[in-house]
Structure 1
Amino acid sequence: MISVISAYAPQVGLGEAKKKRFWDSLDNLVRECSMTHQQLIIAGDLNGHTRAEADGFSSVHGGFGYGVRNEEGRTIPEFAAAHDLVVVNSFFKKRDAHLITYHSGDHDTQIDYMLVRRGDLRVCKDCKVFPGEVCFFQHRLLALDINIKRRPRSTKMAVKPRILWKNLHGEAAEAFRTRVTMGVTPEVGGRTTTDAKKMWNRLENIIREAVKETLRVVVGASRTHIGRR
């Protein structure tokens, strides 16, 4: 299972309360996804400049960013570090044209990011901007190439072991009767109080052991079953 979170952080000029509310909400959502141990991809406009170099965040930043870090851009790697995530954009060396996600007149910045869990970075094959594709107004299309292997479904059906009660005749029937009697007699003779549930469970175990010793238990279809003594 894969969780994809589409995020849009408040703009730089908005109040600190709104920014905190956004990051708190994203924090709670990521924690919910962590409980299911599934793959996680965070994609969106996080309205921050993470800087070209890692600069103290080498564990989450690959060193191939763009621009100069601002206060909002510090929040992004700090958030990633707190949740063991990485900023995928920064781990692939690209020309500026494939790093700039926002273009308006003479203003070029990188504010759109892809984040994944650190352990999933190895399956990320590429992450870059397509300069010729305008996603929304001045935003450019940012694409993540990730290799997700689909686990093959097992074609084997779980089959419960079957007891061959048809063998309960002749010498096998006599051996089964003797084995059960030997197991039950000490239990009945030594019990001073009546406990139906415990007595029944014990009787069940005695019968199961007797079956293993005197009859056959098979697994699988009738033509391909494996016999077990």
Structure 2
Amino acid sequence: MPWRSESGRGRSKAEPVVIMRNPCQISTWNVRTLLSPGKLEEVIEEMNRIEIDILGLCEVRWEGSGYYWKENNRIIYTGREKQGTNGTAIILNKKWGKLVENTIHYSDRITAVKIKADSTNLIIIQVYMPTSSYPDEEIEDMYNRIDEIIDTVNKNDNLIVMGDFKAVVGEEAVGNIVGKFGHGVKNYRGERLIQFCKENDMFIGNTFFKQPKRRLYTWKMPGDIGRYQIDFIIVKNSKRNQIISCKTLPGADVNTDHNLLTSTHNFLVKKNKEEKIDLSKLISLNLR
């Protein structure tokens, strides 16, 4: 699957001399629709209030695909030929939006961005899985499409796959894939998600951090007759030490039955000689 160039910038050859931490808050949210007047502005307002850097969205229901800037936020989206169903999007603040190098608009259920960093690229894949009413063949097709994107990612890149998976992985730890802080009873789709993580050496971030129950579930059934954890942020095991928090924020509100799921990451980045250095963030120095 080819990446679509969005920047036209060349590679920097500046020599890095220090390694520093670059904190980033990455979130995913099924907003149910962005067709309602003012809904996008509400989402961006919540994003700014919570200080989210990168926000993946499900079920935006827009038509077509592309990107544009709205004030200080870059919006990249993928939808159907006609608006009304499905659709995914990724919104980035000004800092991270400027670093987008490539995008993939892959069906109305998958959007991916490649963010150019000094040390390693950051790849975000936003996913909106079909519901349980769809046949297993369509679920397998979705995983095949995600795998096609992953196959284009460099081994050392930061890879995050997130979104609404319509799956429950349960409360029992599974190796280095599922932690002991999941929520609900594992189902068949949850087994398939675990298999995907195993094949790609990834773990489900929001099952590894102890939180109150209200910070674990991501979706309420109509009438609040059941609460489930079906939205996930999935990270490469090799980058495990870079994620320092993952939880839902029930207080975020844009009229949806899904809770905002957010994670905090400390990415390692390299700084060049000519750049000013904040010594409070310095973690190592190597001039060799």
Both structures adopt the same fold (TM-score exceeding 0.5):
yes
Q: Which has the higher contact order (CA 8 A, sep 6+)?
A: 2
Of the candidates 175, 192, 196, which is equivalent to residue 58 of structure 1?
175
Q: What is the Cα deviation at residue 91 of structure 1?
A: 0.8
Match of 1:3 in 2: 123
Query: What's the TM-score, normalizing by structure 1?
Result: 0.63
The answer on 1:138 being equivalent to 2:257 is yes
Q: Which has the higher helix share?
A: 1
Match of 1:126 in 2: 245
Asked if the contact 1:98–1:129 (Cα under 8 Å) also holds between the matched residues in 2, the reply is yes
Cα separation, 2, equivalents of 1:75 and 1:136: 30
Of the candidates 97, 100, 109, which is equivalent to residue 217 of structure 2?
100
Q: What is the Cα deviation at residue 68 of structure 1?
A: 0.2
Task: Tell me the alpha carbon deviations over residues 28-53 of structure 1, each in whole angstroms, 9 at most, x when there is no partner.
Answer: 111212x3631111110011000011
Task: Tell me the alpha carbon deviations over residues 115-157 of structure 1, each in whole angstroms, 9 at most, x when there is no partner.
Answer: 110011111110000011135621110001111132112449x
Relative distance call for 1:31 and 1:134 in structure 2 (3 A) is farther
Match of 1:21 in 2: 141
Structure showing greater Rg = 1
Match of 2:150 in 1: 30
Task: Tell me the alpha carbon deviations over residues 50-87 of structure 1, each in whole angstroms, 9 at most, x when there is no partner.
Answer: 00112xx2221111100000000111111101101010
Task: Give the residue type in structure 2 aligned to 1:129.
Answer: T
Cα separation, 1, equivalents of 2:255 and 2:155: 33
SS in 1 for 2:249: strand
Match of 1:77 in 2: 194
Match of 2:203 in 1: 86
SS in 1 for 2:259: strand
Q: Which has the higher strand share?
A: 2
Aligned CA RMSD, in angstroms, stands at 1.6
Percent sequence identity is 24
Cα separation, 2, equivalents of 1:72 and 1:141: 21
Match of 2:114 in 1: none
Match of 2:78 in 1: none
Task: Give the residue type in structure 2 aligned to 1:16.
Answer: D
Structure 1: where are the runs of 5+ without partners? Answer: 157-229
Cα separation, 2, equivalents of 1:46 and 1:136: 20
Task: Give the residue type in structure 2 aligned to 1:101.
Answer: T
Task: Tell me the alpha carbon deviations over residues 158-183 of structure 1, each in whole angstroms, 9 at most, x when there is no partner.
Answer: xxxxxxxxxxxxxxxxxxxxxxxxxx
The answer on 1:67 being equivalent to 2:184 is yes
Q: What is the Cα deviation at residue 14 of structure 1?
A: 0.5
SS in 1 for 2:267: coil
Cα separation, 2, equivalents of 1:136 and 1:101: 14
Cα separation, 2, equivalents of 1:31 and 1:136: 36
Query: How many residues end up aligned between the 2 structures?
Result: 153
Relative distance call for 1:136 and 1:81 in structure 2 (3 A) is farther
Cα separation, 2, equivalents of 1:6 and 1:136: 21
SS in 2 for 1:134: coil
Asked if the contact 1:135–1:141 (Cα under 8 Å) also holds between the matched residues in 2, the reply is no
Cα separation, 2, equivalents of 1:84 and 1:53: 18
The answer on 1:109 being equivalent to 2:109 is no
